[in-house]
Amino acid sequence: MTYRSREEIFASILSTAGSGAGITRSRIMFGSYLTYAQVVEYSKALIERGLLEYDALDRTFKTTPSGFTFIQLHNEMNQIIKI
């Protein structure tokens, strides 16, 4: 696997978490190809920025509307850079 930037990892986590009605930490690990420590670090950063929310009762993560906006803008920037 090649080196991924912080923004690419953020987008990967948000995409994985946005694919359902709440997703567990282990699903994020497998879906984004990250270790447990990385998921903890990045999920804290995303929650602080308001892009990801955590439901303590179900112990699941969910992408916020701002998170979906981030994914969309990230994809658009990748399209522009490829051109």
User: Residue 4: CB partners within 8 Å, gap ≥ 6?
Assistant: 12
pLDDT tier, 82 (very low <50, low <70, confident <90, very high otherwise): confident
pLDDT tier, 83 (very low <50, low <70, confident <90, very high otherwise): low
3-class SS string, 11-36: HHHHHHHCCCCCECHHHHHHHHCCCH
pTM listed for this prediction: 0.90
pLDDT digits (tens, 9 = 90+) for 12-29: 999 999 887 889 999 999
Neighbour tally for 45: CB within 10 Å: 15
Full set of structural domains in the chain with CATH: 6-82 (1.10.10.10)
pLDDT tier, 73 (very low <50, low <70, confident <90, very high otherwise): very high
